[in-house]
Structure 1
């Protein structure tokens, strides 16, 4: 990905939920998993320091 190596890319992350029957009309997740992902995202954002440098290549 040229964005990643240009030094001007966009910070991104992927958080996946465990689920059953992906891409079907009956895709299923556990409510606790959804709540825990929300908590994970919240705690990450709370601890994030202003001006954090997300680049992995400096």
Structure 2
């Protein structure tokens, strides 16, 4: 993440920090929240179905 002109670089957090946070949050939700995992699975199935409907034979 690049600082805006004149912005103090010490207050800019790195993208890596947020990436690790997001990864850990997702892992926690997948392991501990069955509704979250079901929602991801349902979205995946819908995505596959949409992709298969767009296949031209």
User: What TM-score range do you get, normalising by the shorter chain?
Assistant: 0.3 to 0.5
Instruction: Work out which structure has the larger RCO, using CA pairs closer than 8 Å and 6 or more positions apart in sequence.
Output: 1
Higher helix share: 2
- Normalised by the length of structure 2, the TM-score is 0.40
- Normalised by the length of structure 1, the TM-score is 0.39
- Higher alpha-carbon Rg: 2
